[in-house]
Amino acid sequence: MPAAGELTALGFLFTPRFECSLGSGADAAARVRFEFQDGRSWLRFSPLTSNANAKARVRLLTARQSGELWVDEVKRGPWDSATEIAATIASEIEVRSAD
């Protein structure tokens, strides 16, 4: 899987680098742009369904790491790879490595 690109999630998406589920898994879809490099993990969701407030649940599957979580350019605090990230399907998610 490349370090950067774009995928379409129709309810859910599983990759070697991350996984996400959208809404109930049957009622939401989004384009997901991603970039994983230099200790930074970045995901940008663009809704493809009418409910832009549907929930997105994301797990980063890269090597065990920790860092600072940012959602829509607002710092949410410390994050570690065991923690699921919750946002909406119109969100930008970034984890900046603490390593």
pLDDT at 54: 94
Sort 8 into a burial class: Cβ within 10 Å, 0-12 / 13-18 / 19+.
exposed
Tokens of 24: 């109930």
pLDDT at 64: 63
pLDDT at 74: 96
Digit-coded pLDDT (tens) for 38-79: 888 999 999 999 888 999 999 998 766 789 999 999 999 999
pLDDT at 99: 57
Q: Where are the domains of the chain?
A: 4-97
Kind and range of the H or E element at 18? strand 18-22
Residue 6: pLDDT band with limits 50, 70, 90 = very high
